[in-house]
C-alpha cells in the first residue's frame, strides 16, 4: 500500500463500494517543548507521512473499520457504538466517532479503511493522524464542514476521553491545519495561529535515537508539578500570572530565589522557550534561517540543562549534527528522554547529512538510527 488509488481499490474490493479518500499527516515539533500546558506557544510542522482514510456509506447500519496496516477488521452497530475502549488501534477511530456522535453528528452505517505510513509510536503522532483522518472522512461522508481548529479539539477529546491518553492539542491541531511548506505557530491559550514559511531549499531530517527511557512517564508528572509550583510562587507576587505563559525572565530574576532550584530551572525553560518559539516564527517570516538555527540550538540546551528532559543518546545526536555540513539547527523534539531529534538542513545536502549522522551515531552509541527526510506538508484534505 503506498497511495490513495491503491487504498481505494482495496476498499472497493473489500466493501463493494467506491470510497472517498482523505489524508491527515503526522507532525514534528520544530520548537516549543512543554509550553502547551503553560498556555504558551508551539511551532510544529505537518510532515509527508500520513494516514489515509477511505470511506463509503452502507445500508445495513453497521460501522466497519478495516486497518490495512494490521490486516484487522472491527464491526459495530452504528446505533450502539462501544462505550469503553478495547486497548487496540480501533480505539482511535471509534473514539472520534463517539465524540462526533456526542456533538450531534449522527454516525451512519459506513465502511472505513485506514492505512498510514507514519511510523507508529515514534513520536511523529501517528495517533493524531488516525483521528484526524477519521474525523475528516466522516465529515466528508456526511457532507458537513467542521472548521479545522474545532475538528482538532474534537480529535483531542477522543484521545483524552476515549483512548485515555493525556495529550495536548498540538498534534491534532497541526494534522488538521498544517500547510505545505510552512510551520505553524500555535498559541495554546486561544488556538489562534500563524503560518511561517519554510523555504524550498530546506529539508527536515528527523533522526530517531531508537531509545525511549522508561523514566519518561513518571518524569512528565514531576515536571508538570514543578512548573505549577514555580507558577504559584510567581503569581503570589504578580496575580496576573495565571500560567507561566504570563511570566517573564525579569519576574524570575526578582522572585526566583524563593523557588526551589529544580522548579526554578523548569520555569526558566518554559519562559525562555516561549520567547524563542515566537522569535523563531518571526525569523522564519523574514527568511532569517541562521536565527532559527541558533534558537533551535538554544532550545535544545535549555531542554537538556534546565528542563532536564534529554538523555545521553539525544544529546549525542544533536552534538554530532553540529559537525555535519548543511545543518541549520538541531534539537530533541517531543516529550523527552529519547525519541527523535529534528534537524533543519539545506536540501541539497540533506541525504548526505542523514547518512553521516546515522553513521556517526552508530559509531558513538552502537545504535542503528532511523532517519526520515521530510518536507513540510499540507494538513488534512481530500485526496480522491
The residues assigned a catalytic role are: 171
**Cβ closest to Mg ion, residue 67 vs residue 328:** 67
Q: Per CB under 5 A, which region of 40-48, 93-101, 121-129, 198-206 contacts Mg ion?
A: 121-129
Compute the distance between CA of residue 224 and CA of residue 230 in angstroms, rounded to an integer: 10
**Cβ closest to Mg ion, residue 51 vs residue 377:** 51
Beta carbons within 10 angstroms of residue 236's beta carbon: 11
> Total number of residues binding ligand ADP (CB under 6 A)?
17
**Cβ closest to ligand ADP, residue 112 vs residue 299:** 112
Q: Rule CB under 6 A: which of 109-138 touch ligand ADP?
A: 114-116, 120-127, 130
Nearest to 313 by CA among 332, 327, 330: 332
Residues whose CB is less than 8 angstroms from the CB of residue 279 and which lie 6 or more positions away in sequence, other chains included? 291, 295
Least gap, CB of 231 to ligand ADP (angstroms): 27
Cell 542523514 -> residue: 354
Per partner kind, with CB cut-offs from 5 to 8 A, the member of Mg ion, ligand ADP, none near residue 50 is none
**Cβ closest to ligand ADP, residue 27 vs residue 264:** 27
Q: Rule CB under 6 A: which of 55-94 touch ligand ADP?
A: 67, 69, 89, 92
Query: Can residue 29 be called a binding residue for ligand ADP (CB under 6 A)?
Result: no
Per partner kind, with CB cut-offs from 5 to 8 A, the member of ligand ADP, Mg ion, none near residue 123 is ligand ADP
Least gap, CB of 132 to ligand ADP (angstroms): 11
Query: Can residue 127 be called a binding residue for Mg ion (CB under 5 A)?
Result: yes
Query: Can residue 129 be called a binding residue for Mg ion (CB under 5 A)?
Result: no
Residues at the interface with ligand ADP (CB under 6 A): 51, 67, 69, 89, 92, 114-116, 120-127, 130
Residues at the interface with Mg ion (CB under 5 A): 127
Amino acid at each position: 500500500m503506498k497511495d490513495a488509488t491503491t487504498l481505494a481499490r482495496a476498499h472497493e474490493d473489500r466493501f463493494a463500494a467506491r470510497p472517498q479518500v482523505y489524508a491527515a499527516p503526522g507532525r514534528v515539533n520544530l520548537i516549543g517543548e512543554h509550553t502547551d500546558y503553560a498556555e504558551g506557544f508551539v511551532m510544529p510542522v505537518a510532515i509527508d507521512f500520513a494516514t489515509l482514510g477511505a470511506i463509503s456509506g452502507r445500508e445495513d447500519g453497521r460501522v466497519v473499520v478495516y486497518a490495512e496496516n494490521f490486516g484487522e477488521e472491527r464491526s459495530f452497530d452504528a446505533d450502539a457504538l462501544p462505550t469503553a475502549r478495547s486497548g487496540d488501534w480501533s480505539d482511535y477511530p471509534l473514539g472520534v466517532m463517539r465524540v462526533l456522535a456526542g456533538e450531534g453528528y449522527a454516525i451512519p452505517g459506513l465502511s472505513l479503511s485506514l492505512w498510514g505510513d507514519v511510523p507508529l509510536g515514534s513520536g511523529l503522532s501517528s495517533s493524531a493522524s488516525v483521528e484526524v483522518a477519521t474525523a475528516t472522512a466522516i465529515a466528508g461522508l456526511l457532507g458537513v464542514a467542521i472548521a479545522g481548529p474545532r475538528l482538532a479539539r474534537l480529535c483531542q477529546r477522543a484521545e483524552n476521553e476515549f483512548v485515555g491518553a493525556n495529550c495536548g492539542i498540538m498534534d491534532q491541531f497541526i494534522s488538521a491545519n498544517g500547510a505545505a511548506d510552512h510551520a505553524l505557530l500555535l498559541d495554546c491559550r486561544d488556538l489562534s495561529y500563524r503560518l511561517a514559511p519554510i523555504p524550498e531549499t530546506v529539508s527536515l531530517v528527523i533522526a530517531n535515537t531508537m531509545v525511549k527511557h522508561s523514566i519518561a512517564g513518571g518524569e512528565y508528572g514531576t515536571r508538570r508539578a514543578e512548573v505549577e509550583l514555580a507558577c504559584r510562587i510567581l503569581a503570589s507576587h504578580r496575580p496576573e500570572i495565571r500560567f507561566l505563559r504570563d511570566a517573564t525572565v525579569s519576574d524570575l530574576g526578582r522572585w526566583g530565589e524563593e523557588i526551589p532550584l529544580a522548579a526554578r530551572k523548569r520555569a526558566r525553560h518554559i519562559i525562555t522557550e516561549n520567547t524563542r518559539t515566537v522569535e523563531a516564527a518571526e525569523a522564519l517570516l523574514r527568511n532569517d534561517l541562521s536565527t532559527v538555527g541558533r534558537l533551535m540550538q538554544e532550545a535544545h540546551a535549555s531542554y537538556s540543562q534546565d528542563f532536564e528532559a534529554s538523555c545521553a543518546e539525544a544529546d549525542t545526536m544533536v552534538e554530532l549534527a553540529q559537525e555535519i555540513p548543511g545543518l541549520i539547527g538541531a534539537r530533541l523534539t517531543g516529550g523527552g528522554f529519547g525519541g527523535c531529534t529534528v534537524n533543519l538542513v539545506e536540501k541539497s545536502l540533506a541525504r548526505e547529512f542523514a547518512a553521516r549522522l546515522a553513521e556517526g551515531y552508530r559509531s558513538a552509541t552502537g545504535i542503528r538510527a532511523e532517519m526520515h527526510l521530510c518536507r513540510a506538508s499540507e494538513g488534512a484534505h481530500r485526496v480522491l
